[in-house]
Amino acid sequence: MLRTTLAGLRAHKLRLLLTSLAIALGVGFIAGTFVLTDTIEVGFRQKFTADAAKIDVAVRPADDPAISAEVLAKIRKVPGVVEAQGMLSGPAPLLGRDGKAAGNYPTTGISVMTGQLNRLTLTGGVAPAKPDEAILDDNTAKTRQFAVGDTITVLDQKNVKHEFTLVGLFDTGVDQQLASSGAVGFTTETARLMTGAKGFDRVDVVGTEDPARLRDAVASALGAGFQVKTGDQLADELAAQSKVEIGYLTLLLLLFGLVAMFVSALVIYNTFNILVAQRTREMALLRCIGATRTQIFGSILLESAVVGVLSSGIGLLLGLGLGAGAMAVMEALDGPVPAGAAIALTPRTIVFSVLIGLLVTIGAALLPARAATRVAPVAALRSQVEEQSFKTGVVRIVFAGLFLLAGAGLTTAGITSIEGDLALIVLMGGGGVFFLGVLIISPVIMRPLAAFVGWLPRRLFGVPGKLAVDNARRNPRRAATTTVALTIGVALMTLISVITATTRATVKTQLDEQFPVDYMISDQRGSEAGVPRAVADALRQSPEIGSVMQMRVTNAPVAASDPGTDPGTGEATVGNIPSVPDFRPKAASGSFDRLEPGTVALVDYLAREWNRKVGDTIQVKTTEAGTVTLTIVATFDGRTSDQAPVSVPEKEFDRYFGPLDDTRVFVNAKDGVAPEVARRAVEAVAQPYPTALVMSSTELRGEFDDALDMMLMIFGGLLGLAILISILGIANTLSLSVHERTHESALLRALGLTRPQLRRMLSLEALLLGLIGALVGICLGTVYGWAAMQTFPFEIQFRAPVGQILSFLALSGLAGVLAALLPARRASRASIVGALASV
């Protein structure tokens, strides 16, 4: 029996390879995920361990925000301490060559430790040794065009410019935050002055003693309020943290890997089903000459095991390549990954990949193997292999109905009655169950669908078209499994593109409501720093500018207690209501027209929380006017407005809190002024203020669009694999069908069908399969995309990106046609006489 099976496998090498490839791709993706994340993790650990080797003890603040210079002095006096240095960081905006602060976020200023404790990797020059020396991370240096020897200008925390000589460049390594903000390094003292840091984030210590003993000595000298750890402990802790972060990446990638594996399982299941159907006679013959059911069952499983082992092996190699490739790409893109890390292939990766490949393959072959045991020996004697007939069973309908109903029910529940993250999870579960229902019912709907999709080809392509539609319909179960595999990928693609399009439209509407202006000026360092009022004043003078609105916010204790009592310490953000009416939000209740001294507009959620409505009062503890009692004249929707939750009239704000800087300045160009002209005018006004960041609404939207496009691309790429596998499935099914219909093809050729016509027939069949799979996927994806967006607690602008979705349909059809290329070629090349003789 074993020998028969192996001989059969050897005889069909191509088929074996094609089948294996489906599983191999899935396994490769999973193995690749492990290889990539293991490599990153090991790289991180090596980096942390190498860093930690330089430190004996690290001290970090536990309760206090920072470690003061006195504490550092105390540490230095602990017996056994040879050296102790503090480390600090804070915003230190680097000015670009145009005199404006570089980037949308301030550069991070860091202290560079000296001697043994220095952990920065210099890529050029030397570390700063004098107060007027600085180093830059190499990325920032490159984009801002600074080289060693140049003079750079950095703002201190009071916006005073300081000039430094650039003496070196360094690599930010694995620090994601530094990598994204850019970093400038100073001597410790200069860094403290520049950033205005109150103390150190961490103090690193080297000593003569054993690290554990030194740690205890330092800890007892400092008392409570500090975390004191040995270098090794620190490395472990950092590695554990990064492991958690990588864990999320692993999980996300594995999710896609599992989708791919599921699709592979469908492909394998279908392949074995067809093989068993085709070998009915062979197996009946084996039964006739004495093979038992168990032996037949065993031989099919053995075949699947061979396929499983082979594909897992290929998959593992593929995964190694994928992992290494992804790592190389991330390094090339300067991603925050440990550079030059050795590719990690752990035993876990090997065991897990081989196991999942084997299990999925054998699992998918179980049902077909069982079907094979049902072949009666007498089937060997029948002359004509019977067409596989398909009758819609009651059991199938009932099961499908149950699944579809349960799925729809869960989905509806997710949309209507559950809130928050749980809703999305319920919805996803509902989607999964509903999909299983579709999977079960798919053979039933395959015939009508094929008739529907095939309507045009039938009319357009003559006899090949008609025959293709008939062929697509003749074996609904096979067609269903083949197309459903594609449905999965297309459904998820559609889902994601619907979600991105909807998000894009929704955010655009929100931006239009919240940000109904052309430009916004804010400080690069965020809401804590302000834009001098002179900016707004100058803008008002500018002839290109239509209207200017200054928004100021501050935090103050606010409460809804009785008049005259102290509001306590619960802080809320208090801001001004613009005097210009076009910048005001819509009132949910009350009216902004009644704003006058002693009144306030309150955001709806605070009003609900405090149980206050228009006409009631709240207390605000101001800095300049003591505690004031304010009457609520309006409430507004916090989700569609950028207005501070507690908003008072502009003049009153100044009276309560003094002449604070503007947090944000909103600017509208005068009607008819060209955007470039207006932009230049705004920028000219902002020029003297290096950290005043001018953003246009189009830029803001563009950034958001870019982020969405990026997401769409990444998910598309990840799903591409599942789609590729399903296309392989189409190719596989088709080539098996072609093999099965060798005689039919020969007959058609004898009757006068030309080679191109025969090829066209098969391509059309594949086209139909592709289109049907895509069509079902598009319907599911669109509906679930809509449903997913319904779980979000704000108003949705639903968009189905028709162009994109149609392109999925077209690409699926095209992919089907491509999948048919080889089988069709083989079929049309076959000699008529040879094909007629074989059976």
Partner 1 sequence: MTITTDVRHAVVAKGLAKIYGQGDAAVHALRGVDVSFATGAFTAIMGPSGSGKSTLMHCLAGLDTVTEGSVAIGDVEITRLSDKQLTLLRRERVGFVFQAFNLLPTLTAEQNIRLPLEIAGRQADQVLFDRVIDTVGLRDRLSHKPSELSGGQQQRVAVARALISKPNVIFADEPTGNLDSRSGAEVLAFLRRSVRELGQTIVMVTHDPGAASYADRVVFLRDGLLVTELTDPTPQSVLDTLLKLEA
Asked if 759 is part of the footprint of partner 1 (rule: CB under 8 A), the reply reads: no
Asked if 384 is part of the footprint of partner 1 (rule: CB under 8 A), the reply reads: yes
SS3 label, residue 453: helix
Among 670, 743, 825, 826, binds partner 1 (CB under 8 A): 743
* Pairing label, strands 202-207, 81-87: antiparallel
Q: Considering only the stretches 75-83, 174-182, 590-598, 828-836, report the one whose residues sit in contact with partner 1 under the rule CB under 8 A.
A: 828-836
Cα 801 from Cα 787, distance rounded (Å):
16
Among 387, 419, 528, 676, binds partner 1 (CB under 8 A): 387
CB of 373 to partner 1, least distance (A): 24
Residue 579 phi, psi dihedral angles, 5° rounding: -80, -25
CB of 838 to partner 1, least distance (A): 11
Cα 45 from Cα 356, distance rounded (Å):
28
Residues 777-816, one symbol each (x = binds partner 1 by CB under 8 A, - = not), give ----------------------------------------
Paired tokens of 309: 């082992």
Asked if 740 is part of the footprint of partner 1 (rule: CB under 8 A), the reply reads: no
| CB-count burial class (<10 Å; 0-12, 13-18, 19+) for 634 | buried
Asked if 383 is part of the footprint of partner 1 (rule: CB under 8 A), the reply reads: yes
Cα 185 from Cα 134, distance rounded (Å):
6
Say how many residues make up the chain: 839
Q: What is the DSSP letter of 12?
A: T
Q: Considering only the stretches 350-358, 677-685, 739-747, 815-823, report the one whose residues sit in contact with partner 1 under the rule CB under 8 A.
A: 739-747
Return the number of the residue (50 or 833) whose C-beta is nearest partner 1: 833
Among 65, 149, 564, 752, binds partner 1 (CB under 8 A): 752
Number of residues this chain uses to bind partner 1 (CB under 8 A): 29
Asked if 460 is part of the footprint of partner 1 (rule: CB under 8 A), the reply reads: no
Cα 478 from Cα 278, distance rounded (Å):
13
Return the number of the residue (242 or 757) whose C-beta is nearest partner 1: 757
Q: Considering only the stretches 344-352, 468-476, 616-624, 765-773, report the one whose residues sit in contact with partner 1 under the rule CB under 8 A.
A: 468-476
CB of 362 to partner 1, least distance (A): 33
Paired tokens of 710: 């990026």
* Nearest alpha carbon to residue 189 among 244, 129, 254, 256: 129
Among 69, 625, 750, 810, binds partner 1 (CB under 8 A): 750
Q: What is the DSSP letter of 336?
A: S
Other CB atoms within 10 A of residue 127 CB: 18
Dump strand ranges (E) for 181-258. 183-186, 202-207, 226-230
Cα 272 from Cα 304, distance rounded (Å):
8
* Nearest alpha carbon to residue 92 among 174, 22, 183, 19: 183
Asked if 280 is part of the footprint of partner 1 (rule: CB under 8 A), the reply reads: no
Asked if 826 is part of the footprint of partner 1 (rule: CB under 8 A), the reply reads: no
Residue with the two structure tokens 């009062």:
617
Asked if 70 is part of the footprint of partner 1 (rule: CB under 8 A), the reply reads: no
Q: Considering only the stretches 196-204, 313-321, 459-467, 694-702, report the one whose residues sit in contact with partner 1 under the rule CB under 8 A.
A: 459-467
Asked if 832 is part of the footprint of partner 1 (rule: CB under 8 A), the reply reads: yes
Whether 549 and 517 have beta carbons less than 8 Å apart is answered as yes
- Name 89's bridge partners: 110
CB of 387 to partner 1, least distance (A): 5
Among 391, 751, 793, 802, binds partner 1 (CB under 8 A): 751
Return the number of the residue (300 or 753) whose C-beta is nearest partner 1: 753
Residues 333-372, one symbol each (x = binds partner 1 by CB under 8 A, - = not), give ----------------------------------------
Alpha helix (H) ranges present in 461-522?
462-474, 476-514
CB of 382 to partner 1, least distance (A): 11
Return the number of the residue (674 or 833) whose C-beta is nearest partner 1: 833
Single-letter residue type at 611: N
Paired tokens of 83: 């050296």
Return the number of the residue (248 or 452) whose C-beta is nearest partner 1: 452
Cα 836 from Cα 750, distance rounded (Å):
9
Cα 402 from Cα 517, distance rounded (Å):
52
Q: Considering only the stretches 465-473, 536-544, 570-578, 656-664, report the one whose residues sit in contact with partner 1 under the rule CB under 8 A.
A: 465-473
Q: Residues 711, 712, 716, CA angle at the centre, nearest 5°?
A: 115
Among 37, 270, 349, 471, binds partner 1 (CB under 8 A): 471
Asked if 470 is part of the footprint of partner 1 (rule: CB under 8 A), the reply reads: yes
Asked if 177 is part of the footprint of partner 1 (rule: CB under 8 A), the reply reads: no
Cα 441 from Cα 356, distance rounded (Å):
28
List residues binding partner 1 (CB under 8 A). 383-384, 386-387, 462-463, 466-467, 470-471, 473-474, 743-744, 747-755, 757, 831-833, 836, 839
